[in-house]
Amino acid sequence: MARNYLAVTYDVCEHNNLFEDMNHYPIDAADLEKQVKECAKKDVAPVVRVYESETSDFKEFRLYKEYSFKEYECSCNQ
């Protein structure tokens, strides 16, 4: 059975208690990490979560993996 993946970018600011989803990107299993990095760069997102589903409508899904990008972390405290 084919797996479907969805990358969700998040805006995060610990100083302001912010953890908010921004955009959703359907991605494929081929070169997953490269696609996740591109999503993070596009949205300047410090966190990208990849969700996995057995259906293309993502009615039932589970967290596949979470990626963190230090280069996009909020620096409003500094």
Domain annotation covers residue 70: no
Distance CA 41, CA 50 (A): 15
- Strand residue runs (E) in 28-77: 47-53, 62-68
Domain annotation covers residue 68: no
pLDDT in tens, 26-59: 999 899 999 999 999 999 999 999 999 998 888 8
Domain annotation covers residue 56: yes
Number of domains in the chain: 1
Residue 78 binned pLDDT confidence (cut-offs 50, 70, 90)? low
Q: What residues have CB less than 8 Å from 49, skipping those under 6 apart?
A: 7, 8, 10, 63, 65, 66, 67
Domain annotation covers residue 77: no
Domain range holding 16? 4-63
Residue 33's nearest CA partner among 57, 10, 11, 7 is 7
Domain annotation covers residue 75: no
